[in-house]
Structures are given as C-alpha cells and as structure tokens.
C-alpha cells in the first residue's frame, strides 16, 4: 500500500522514498487516528503529500513550542530561514523539508500556504492568553486556519469560487476544532501558563481552571455549545470537494463531533484530565466511511475516481 502510494505520488528517488517513509512513521505515531483516516479514505496518490504537510506542521509546532517567548521567537526565525531555503533550492539537510519541497513542487499551492503558516507562527509564539471570542477568532484566522490549509489545500477544487467556499468551510471547522483543543488540553495549557479558553468567559462564570466545580462545568458547556455551532455551520464541507475526497472530509468532521461529545461528558473534570474521542466510535466511523467509499467508487467511472 505505501510503496504504491509513493509510486502514484511520483516519489521514485530512493532517498526521497526513505524520507517520506520516515515522515509517515512520525505522523502515524503522533496522529494515529488522523493517519488511519488518510490511509483508508484518501486516494493513494495524495497520501504521501498529506503526510509531508502534516509532518512539517507538527515539526514546526514542536520547534516553536518550547522555552521562553524569546527562545521560541529565535527558534521560529531560524526555522523560517531553513524552510524558505529548502523551498527555493528544492533540497535540504532535513528529511522533513526535503519532503515538503517535493510536495510543494508537485502541488504549487502549498508554497503560499507555507508562507501564511509561517506568518501565523509569529502569533502562536507571541500569545499568552486569549482575552475574548474576538481574539480567539483572530488567533484561528492567523494561525490555526493556515495550519489546517497546509493539508486542506491538497483537497481544494481548482475553481476559484469553489476554493473560496471550501476555505470558508475549513475556517468554520478549524474554529470548532481549536475551541475543542483548548478544552481537551486545559490542564496542560494551565500548567504552561497559556490557557486558550477566553479569559472573559472564565471571569463571567467565575470558574477556577485548576479545580473541578459547577462554574467550570458551565464554562465547558458554553464553549462546547459554541464549538457545536461552528461544526453545524461546517457540515456542508464534504460537498465542496470532489467525490474521491468526500469520505475523508466526512470522517474528519465526524471525529470532531466525537471529540466534542467526549468534552461534554468530561465537563468540569477537564480541570484535572484530558479527554478524547471514543476509540471504538472513531473506528466505527472510519469503517463506515471506508465501506461507503467502496460503494461510491464502484458506482463511478474509473476516470472519475482520482486514482
């Protein structure tokens, strides 16, 4: 399966095949569910490029997420230079950037999204708290959406109007995902001094983010309701991509609903523990979409299947 995916993605050089395989192992380790969805539900030719984009995003986040604000800013400056050099020269000493360069060569739109993402990383490095929903929306526009579009751009349609609608759907989806992230990671973020739940909401409910209690439960429910509203608004997203990509996008949206359900169940206990989607429910979702993909593929002419 993987060797075939590399062949269909046009990755034939032995060193690059090893590089992509290394990124695949990393992505499978830190994003197991997401990798499984991509492997099962995306056309083989796209899988290595999705892996390269996700690996780059994760590597970047890891590099700029440690140390003091000054240390993080310095790490971003150094990384920015390495990324731009790799894209300009088509090569790098780092496997993750060699893969990114090849993926950007095969999918030129990736370059613009890498630039937007690196600019957004400046926001990620600088923030300490999020004051209110408007600042959360700004954070999503400047950092979270560019991060998602590194991979989502690989699924976007060629028509400009369709791409604009798709990007707006991605914006709604990532806004929900980011709010869920901040709830899931509450204990870790509080320990790091960077809680992502808007400060005005915390004050409005009188919640203690370090201790379970009714006020925190109300805060979690409010934030979950706002994430749910964005997920509902993002529901048409699968219809904005070509048929071979729809099972993957449906699964992506479906997993966010499972994550949201888990957050609601956890409630105030999120002060002391993280949450995540039910593994059996996520597996069932993937199996259902895989079966639907097979049925849909059987009903389309071979040339329309994007393989």
User: Does residue 297 surpass a pLDDT of 80?
Assistant: no
Domain boundaries, the chain: 1-126, 144-307
CB burial readout 165-198, b (16+ within 10 A) else e: bbbebbbbbbbbbbbbbbbbbbbebbeeeebbbb
Q: How far apart are CA 207 and CA 42, in angstroms?
A: 42
Protein fold of 144-307: Farnesyl Diphosphate Synthase (1.10.600)
Going by the DSSP 8-state scheme, the letter that residue 97 receives in this structure is H
Tell me the C-alpha to C-alpha distance, in Å, between residue 271 and each of 25, 156, 183, 216: 32, 38, 9, 8
Contact 99, 55 (CB under 8 A): yes
pLDDT of residue 53: 97
Kindly state the helix (H) or strand (E) to which residue 197 belongs, with its residue range.
none
Averaged pLDDT for residues 3-18: 97
pLDDT tier at 299, thresholds 50, 70, 90: low
User: Does residue 191 surpass a pLDDT of 80?
Assistant: yes
pLDDT tier at 301, thresholds 50, 70, 90: low
User: Does residue 307 surpass a pLDDT of 50?
Assistant: no
């Amino acid at each position: 399966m993987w060797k075939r995916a590399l062949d269909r993605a046009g990755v034939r050089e032995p060193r690059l095949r090893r590089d992509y395989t290394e990124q695949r192992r990393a992505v499978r380790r830190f994003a197991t569910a997401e990798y499984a969805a991509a492997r099962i539900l995306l056309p083989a030719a796209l899988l290595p490029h999705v892996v390269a984009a996700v690996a780059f995003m994760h590597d970047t986040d890891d590099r700029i997420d440690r140390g003091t604000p000054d240390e993080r800013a310095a790490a971003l400056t150094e990384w920015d230079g390495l990324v731009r050099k790799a894209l300009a020269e088509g090569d790098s000493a780092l496997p993750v950037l060699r893969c990114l360069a090849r993926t950007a060569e095969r999918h030129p739109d990736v370059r613009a999204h890498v630039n937007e993402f690196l600019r957004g990383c400046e926001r990620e490095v600088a923030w300490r708290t999020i004051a209110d929903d408007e600042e959360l929306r700004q954070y999503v526009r400047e950092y979270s959406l560019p991060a998602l579009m590194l991979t989502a751009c690989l699924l976007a349609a060629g028509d400009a109007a369709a791409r604009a609608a798709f990007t707006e759907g991605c914006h709604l989806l990532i806004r929900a995902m980011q709010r869920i992230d901040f709830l899931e990671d509450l204990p870790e973020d509080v320990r790091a001094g960077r809680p992502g739940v808007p400060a005005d909401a915390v004050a409005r409910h009188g919640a203690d983010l370090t201790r379970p209690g009714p006020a925190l439960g109300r805060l979690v429910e409010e934030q979950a309701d706002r994430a749910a509203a964005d997920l509902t608004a993002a529901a048409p997203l699968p219809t904005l991509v070509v048929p071979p990509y729809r099972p993957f996008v449906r699964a992506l949206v479906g997993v966010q609903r499972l994550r949201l359900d888990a957050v609601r169940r956890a409630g105030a206990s999120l002060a002391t523990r993280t949450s995540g989607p039910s593994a059996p429910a996520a597996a069932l979702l993937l199996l259902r979409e895989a079966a639907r993909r097979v049925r849909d593929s059987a009903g389309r002419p071979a040339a329309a299947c994007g393989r």
